[in-house]
Amino acid sequence: MKVSRKKQVLDVVALYPEVSQIGDARLRQAVVEIWQELWAQSKWNDIGAVPTSAEIPYSNLPHTQCVVAMALNVADAFRKYHNIEVNRDYLIAAAVLQDASKVVEYEPGPGGKVRRTRIGKSYPHGFWCAHLAVQKGVPDAISHVMLTHSSSAAKFPDTLEGKILYYVDQLDVIGIHKDRWKKHLMIAKVEN
């Protein structure tokens, strides 16, 4: 007889302690619940085994943990040197959630390979997490960051929080994988 083993609930705060710094209790709770729902839907049993992408076998967990830490350090530097304040609740929530969709976008395949799931093939990266966030009443500005943080997204993030995440995410990928960026002179500077 097959014994069904219920999957352990993910301890989101243990993985991402910065979640406890989110001041808005409803947002803090939503971040935890979204992660736990995605994890319940995931085919993975070890969160550390989920890769950064199909091309980048490095674990997504330390990648996201480093992205969260770097984003908050940039926010601290903006405050210290320029008196620029970012929305720290939004920054933490978006940083912790931006790659959470990966647990349902990928699944373990045969021979230790990673393959895309139906969700991973059907929707842009970040969409599945963003749609849960919208359902839970998470502010649109946070879902916007989830949907624009990837270099494959159709547009750049509009907000400072989103731009911080965009750049530190790409910087971390350079650290854990390789520099995939080229400078193209046809990119024009917009004056307004």
Contact between 105 and Fe ion by CB under 5 A: the answer reads no
Least Cβ distance, residue 52 to Fe ion (angstroms): 8
Binding segment (CB under 5 A) for Fe ion, from list 29-37, 61-69, 97-105, 131-139: 97-105
Contact between 99 and Fe ion by CB under 5 A: the answer reads yes
Q: Which of 158, 93, 155 is nearest to 130 (CA)?
A: 93
Q: Which is nearer to Fe ion, 32 or 146 (CB)?
A: 146
Q: Which is nearer to Fe ion, 28 or 149 (CB)?
A: 149
Q: Which is nearer to Fe ion, 104 or 188 (CB)?
A: 104
Q: Which of 161, 35, 146, 160 is nearest to 91 (CA)?
A: 161
Give kind and range of the element (H or E) at residue 103: helix 102-105
Least Cβ distance, residue 31 to Fe ion (angstroms): 16
Give the burial string for 61-85 (b: 16+ CB within 10 Å, else e).
bebbbbbbebbbebbeeeeeeeeee
Q: Which residue is nearest to Fe ion (CB)?
A: 99
Least Cβ distance, residue 47 to Fe ion (angstroms): 15
Q: Which is nearer to Fe ion, 29 or 48 (CB)?
A: 48
Residue 76 DSSP SS3: helix
Q: Which is nearer to Fe ion, 99 or 172 (CB)?
A: 99
Binding segment (CB under 5 A) for Fe ion, from list 11-19, 85-93, 99-107, 128-136: 99-107
Look at the block and give the residue holding tokens 């091309």.
Answer: 55
DSSP label at 137?
Answer: T
Rounded-to-integer distance, Cα 97 and Cα 73, Å: 18
Least Cβ distance, residue 20 to Fe ion (angstroms): 23
Residues 6+ apart with CB under 8 A from 91: 71, 72, 75, 161, 164, 165
Where do contacts with Fe ion occur on this chain (CB under 5 A)? Answer: 99
